Amino acid sequence: MRLCVAGAAGAFGRKHLDALAQIEEAEVVSVVGGAPDDIDTFARERGIGHATKDLGESLARDDVDGVILATPTPLHAEQAIACMRAGKHVLVEIPMAESLAASEAVVQAQREFGVVAMAGHVRRFNPSHQWLRNRIDAGDLTIQQLEVQTFFFRRSNLNALGQPRSWTDHLLWHHACHTVDLFQYQTGETVDQAFGLQGPPHKDMGIAMDMAIGMKVPSGAICTLSLSFNNDGPFGTFFRYICDNGTYIARYDDLVDGNENPIDLSGVAVSSNGIELIDREFIAAIKGGREPNASIAQCLPAMQTLDLIERSFPA
């Protein structure tokens, strides 16, 4: 599978390149960068034959079957549609768009052009969450509450590599999107009640630095989500599954029970790397001519719920 990675020199572009290097069926034939990337040097150092700062140049190539978009969030919807219009399969990093209307346009484009289109909802693929999903599907567990903390210390507009961003990140449409989708995926239901509260906006970036979200699905399970860019301490996302038959805590690729006893995840998936697993699903869906797990159509309900939460913010 011949792939282009756009945003290759960024934090998540590099994660995808490292993941694809572990997949025999994958070959990265093109990378796309943006200012101020030295994308030509970056490509040479990684042995990639084609580099450009123009996504359209890569889309015009006959040797590109699919594209992974790890580009700035405001570009996701427009670029995903451009990829599909060019006949390329596309995996767009989370979120697929910054609004419900734009998300619906991306889904409509997939229906029109018929290519494989995924959103980067990697929590569906992390072995810790897969282990819990398997127990839920087997009828061993029912979620009563999913309690989640997403914490960063980001008081200036820098990316995960500590470099200045040309765009502004968002707690709701980016970081909350992971948990909103995961909650609905794990319960198998769509949220019918939701609210959100925002803290004061940053004086320069203009975004809320703290946020609280509550959700409920029709069966009665609830999700409480706390997000912060103000957390001066360990950062990341921490998931506590409070179930009818046990409590489990997931920290990215690790899983323990409520008493901190480790859960063996060795047999859950072929890798412990969620990025690698989502890239493997993308390639397998293309080769199999099937809808992937985390297709953009499957992830649209998460965007609908984010829109519901946004509309709930006090004026």
246 and 256 assigned to the same domain = yes
Q: Which domain holds residue 63?
A: 2-122+275-295
271-296 pLDDT tens trace: 999 999 999 999 999 999 999 999 99
111 and 30 assigned to the same domain = yes
- Domains: count for the chain: 2
With 90 as the cut, is the pLDDT of residue 6 above it?
yes
Per-residue confidence band for 124, with pLDDT thresholds at 50, 70 and 90: very high
Alpha-carbon distance of 99 to 272, in angstroms, equals 32
167 and 132 assigned to the same domain = yes
Q: How many Cβ atoms from other residues are within 10 Å of residue 203's Cβ?
A: 7
- Which pLDDT belongs to residue 8? 97
Q: How many Cβ atoms from other residues are within 10 Å of residue 202's Cβ?
A: 17
197-223 pLDDT tens trace: 999 988 887 889 999 999 999 999 999
Q: What percent of the chain has pLDDT over 70?
A: 96
234 and 180 assigned to the same domain = yes
Residues 132/143/95/309 CA torsion (nearest 10 deg): -170
Exposure of 151 by Cβ count < 10 A (0-12 exposed, 13-18 middle, 19+ buried)?
Answer: buried
Q: How many Cβ atoms from other residues are within 10 Å of residue 244's Cβ?
A: 9
115 and 182 assigned to the same domain = no
191 and 286 assigned to the same domain = no
73 and 134 assigned to the same domain = no
130 and 157 assigned to the same domain = yes
145 and 17 assigned to the same domain = no
Alpha-carbon distance of 40 to 32, in angstroms, equals 9
108 and 202 assigned to the same domain = no
- Which pLDDT belongs to residue 206? 82
- Which pLDDT belongs to residue 167? 63
CATH (domain of 260): 3.30.360.10
- Which pLDDT belongs to residue 253? 78
Nearest CA to 282 among 25, 96, 103? 25
- Which pLDDT belongs to residue 154? 77
Instruction: Please report the sign of the dihedral spanned by the C-alpha atoms of residue 46, residue 51, residue 52, residue 57.
Output: negative
In degrees, rounded to 5, the angle at the alpha carbon of residue 188 between the alpha carbons of residues 183 and 193 is: 60
Instruction: Give the pTM.
Output: 0.94
84-123 pLDDT tens trace: 999 999 999 999 999 999 999 999 999 999 999 999 999 9
Contact 138, 262 (CB under 8 A): no
Which residues are bridge partners to 211 per DSSP? 198, 227
Read off the pLDDT of each residue in 41-46 and give the average, rounded to a whole number: 97
Per-residue confidence band for 314, with pLDDT thresholds at 50, 70 and 90: confident
CATH (domain of 291): 3.40.50.720
Q: What are phi and psi of 162, to 5 degrees?
A: 80, 20
236 and 265 assigned to the same domain = yes
118 and 129 assigned to the same domain = no
Alpha-carbon distance of 304 to 113, in angstroms, equals 23
The mean pLDDT value of the chain amounts to 94
Distances 260 to 238, 251, 254, 263 between C-alpha atoms, Å? 13, 11, 11, 9
